[in-house]
Amino acid sequence: MTTVSRETHARLERFADLLAQWNTKINLVSPRDVASLWPRHIEDSLQLAELIPAGATITDLGSGGGFPGLILAIATDNPVTLIESDQRKCAFLREAARICGAKVTVIPKRIEAAFPPPADIITARALAPLNKLLNWARPLLREDGVCLFLKGQKAPEELTEASRDWHMTSTILPSRTDGGGAIIKVSDFKRVV
């Protein structure tokens, strides 16, 4: 379990309460996941916080219900850009950021149509195969930036597949919240020509 300050924990509690309220109207997480919101979604997202330097700018791809981007904004106080194409989810993200006091910019567009300033860190969770994530992330990441992707059991296979199309420096870190999951950390990546 990731240790956070009492104030941060209170902000995350407000987020969890708000998500439970909104989830009855729009599908932010599976209804059966509301009861296990902390271990399954919040803790899973929080494990990235210790990999992110203070003050680093973050862009989260396909933010959905705020995982991991909004959780990281609350936990780190770093500025986070959330890219999400579903307008209803964007309304939730804006309201949750306001209530939780998070430094968030919400871009209500598809990833390939969003052009935020290049970020130090790109994150995503349960969004797409690594190859596609790298394709989306490359134009949004600073040259010396890092990608942190929360992945499932197929992380090694996705990394092998992506290495056919990308030269990169990569590491697979074990997930602390999902026995079969992993964090894929990627930097210095460019397309194979």
Residue 62 among known ligand-binding residues: yes
Q: Is 189 annotated as a binding residue?
A: no
pLDDT of residue 34: 85
158 is in an annotated binding site: no
User: Distance between CA 134 and CA 141 in Å, rounded?
Assistant: 10
Q: What does the pLDDT look like over 160-187, one tens digit per residue?
A: 999 999 999 999 999 998 888 999 999 9
Sorted by where each starts, the structural domains of the chain and their CATH numbers stand as 6-144 (3.40.50.150)
- What is the value of pTM for the model shown? 0.96
Residue 105: closest CA among 77, 138, 83: 83
Only one residue has tokens 């379990």, namely 1
Query: What is the pLDDT tens value at each position of the chain, 193 positions in all?
Result: 678 899 999 999 999 999 999 999 999 998 888 888 998 899 999 999 999 999 999 999 999 999 999 999 999 999 999 999 999 999 999 999 999 999 999 999 999 999 999 999 999 998 999 999 999 999 999 999 999 999 999 999 999 999 999 999 999 999 998 888 999 999 999 999 8
> Is residue 74 part of an annotated ligand binding site?
no
pLDDT one-digit tens code per residue, 60-78? 999 999 999 999 999 999 9
The separation between CA 43 and the C-alpha centre of its own chain, rounded to angstroms, equals 12
Are residues 143 and 190 in contact, defined by beta-carbon separation less than 8 angstroms?
Answer: no
